[in-house]
Amino acid sequence: MESLVRELKEKIVTTLNLVDVSPDDIDDHEQLVGGRLGVDSIDVLELVIMLERDYSVKIEDREVGSTVFANLKSLADYVAANKPE
């Protein structure tokens, strides 16, 4: 799980082109969307695509999305639970 969290942090920084943010700067429990990192709804769309492409995990609707992207922990939990073996 640790390595998944680490990997997700790296992908978030790269996919979203976050400036002056290294993966280590992101706290597992800090608010991901609408928080200090400046991640917004358009970024979420890119992350949805990234999840499907890299983990075969689909986010089908906005409600699921808003809980999944709450923070890194919830994201990693969802990916771990839903990625095909």
Task: Give residues in contact with another protein (CB under 8 A).
Answer: 16-20, 38, 41-43, 45-46, 48-49, 52-53, 62
Q: How far is the CB of 78 from another protein (least distance, A)?
A: 17
Q: Helices (DSSP H) in 1-85: which residue ranges?
A: 2-15, 41-55, 62-68, 72-82
Q: Which is nearer to another protein, 44 or 76 (CB)?
A: 44
Q: Which of residues 29 and 58 has its CB atom nearest to another protein in the complex?
A: 58
Least gap, CB of 1 to another protein (angstroms): 26
By CB atoms closer than 10 A (0-12, 13-18, 19+), residue 76 is buried
Q: How far is the CB of 5 from another protein (least distance, A)?
A: 23
**Closer to another protein at the Cβ: 1 or 40?**
40
The length of the chain, given as a count of residues:
85
